[in-house]
Structure 1
Amino acid sequence: MTSSDARSFPDDLLKLQEQLHRANAEHRAFLARLPWSVEPMPGWARGERFSHRGDVPDSPGWSQEEKEAVDRMWGEIRELAISVVDHPHWSTLAREEVVSARMELKRQARPAEEHAGSEAA
Structure 2
Amino acid sequence: MTDISSFPDDLLQLQERLHHAHAEHRAYLVGLPWSVEPLTGWARSERFSHRGDVPDSPGWSDEQKETVDRVWDEIRELSITVVDHPRWATVAREEMVAARMRLKKQTHPIAPGDVTEAA
TM-score (normalised: structure 2): 0.89
Q: Which has the higher contact order (CA 8 A, sep 6+)?
A: 2
User: Which residue number in structure 2 is paired with residue 73 of structure 1?
Assistant: 71
User: Which residue number in structure 1 is paired with residue 39 of structure 2?
Assistant: 41
> Separation in 2 of the partners of 1:55 and 1:74?
30
TM-score (normalised: structure 1): 0.87
Aligned-CA RMSD value: 1.7
Identity %: 71
> Separation in 1 of the partners of 2:4 and 2:49?
48
User: Which residue number in structure 1 is paired with residue 96 of structure 2?
Assistant: 98
> Separation in 2 of the partners of 1:29 and 1:99?
28
Give the counterpart of 2:8 among 2, 10, 19.
10
Q: How many residues are paired up?
A: 112
Structure 2 spans left out of the alignment, 5+ residues: 115-119
- Deviation of residue 5 (structure 1)? 3.2
> Separation in 1 of the partners of 2:52 and 2:105?
37
The answer to whether 1:109 aligns with 2:111 is no
> Separation in 2 of the partners of 1:89 and 1:77?
20
Matched-pair contact (CA < 8 Å) for 2:4–2:91: no
Structure with the larger helix share: 1
